[in-house]
Amino acid sequence: MALRLVQVNFKARDDSALGRFWAEALGWGVSSEGPGVTNLEPEGFAWPDPDAFYIDLVAVPDPETVKYRVHLDLATTSAAHQAELVARLKELGATPADVGQGDVPWTVLADPEGNVFCVLEPREIYRDTGPIAAVVVDCADPRAMARFWDEALDWTLHEVTDDHARLRAAKGVGPYLEFLRTPGAPTVWNRIHLDLLPDPIDDQAAEVARLRTLGATTADVGQGDVSWKVLADPEGNEFCVLGRG
C-alpha cells in the first residue's frame, strides 16, 4: 500500500477564472470533470500519472477574509526569469501582497482571489521541480509535522529542523512538500488543501485507517456523501484521501 500527494485543491469563488489564471501562470493545460470543477495538468501528462503533479479548483462560496495556511512557491531559473515571471503574473491579475516578509529576495503576490503565493529567487534545490517549487504549509511544529507526513506518504524526508521540514516524492519529481514554523493556529478551514491518492485506489479505507493511527482525525467541511474522505493532520490542516468515483 502507498499514498502519494497527487494535487493541491483550491476552493474558489470562480473556479474557471481562477483556473485560467493558474494555467497561464504555470503554462499548464485546462480541463473540467463537471460544472464547478476546473482541472489543471502539466502539458504532456494525464491525471494521475505518477511523474506529474496537478491542481484542482472547486467552486465553493466562502468568506474572503481568512488566514491561509497553505501556499505555493514558484521556481525561477535566473534573476531575469524571476523579474519576467513577476511582471507576467501581474499582467494576468496577480497583486503584490504583504505578509510581513520584510526585505527578502523572493516576491510575494496574491492571485485574483487573494490566495498568497511566492515567486522565489533562483535556488539550486528547485532546478528540476517544474514551475511549482514547493507546496508550503505553515505550522507550529515542523518536526512533528514531518513525522506524521513522512509516515503518511510514500515520499522521502530531505530535511528537518525546529523551523523547517522538507519532503519530496521518492522518484525525485515534482514539487517539495514543506512545513514552515509560523505562530498562530488555524481559525477556519483551508481554502487550499492537499489531495492524496492511494495506490491501488481500492485501498482507500485501509489508508484512512492507517492515517488515523498516525494521528489524523476525521474532518467535516460540509462535503456530504462523496467518494473521498476528508481528514485533518495533527495540526488541523484538512486533506483528502481520494477514492474511486
Instruction: Scan for cell 488555524, then name that residue.
Output: 186
pLDDT band at 187 (very low <50, low <70, confident <90, very high): low
pLDDT at 127 over 70: yes
Q: What is the mean pLDDT of residues 25-46?
A: 94
Query: Could you read off the pLDDT of 62-80 as tens digits, one per residue?
Result: 645 556 789 999 999 999 9
Q: What is the identity of the amino acid at 111?
A: D
Q: What pLDDT is stored for residue 68 in this prediction? A: 72
Q: What pLDDT is stored for residue 158 in this prediction? A: 96
Q: What pLDDT is stored for residue 1 in this prediction? A: 56
What does pLDDT average to over the chain? 92
Q: In this structure, are residues 105 and 119 in contact, taking their beta carbons and an 8 Å threshold? A: no
Q: What is the mean pLDDT of residues 2-31?
A: 95
Query: Could you read off the pLDDT of 71-115 as tens digits, one per residue?
Result: 999 999 999 999 999 999 999 999 999 988 999 999 999 999 999
SS3 81: helix
Instruction: Scan for cell 502539466, then name that residue.
Output: 42
Provide the percentage of residues in the chain whose pLDDT is more than 70. Answer: 95
Separation of alpha carbons 238 and 144, rounded Å: 16
What does R_g of the chain's alpha carbons equal in angstroms?
17
pLDDT at 177 over 80: yes
Q: Which residues contact 88 (CB under 8 A, 6 or more apart)?
A: 25
The pTM of this model reads 0.94
Q: What pLDDT is stored for residue 156 in this prediction? A: 94
Q: Over the range 91-100, which residues count as b (16 or more CB within 10 Å of their CB) and which as e? A: eebbeebeee
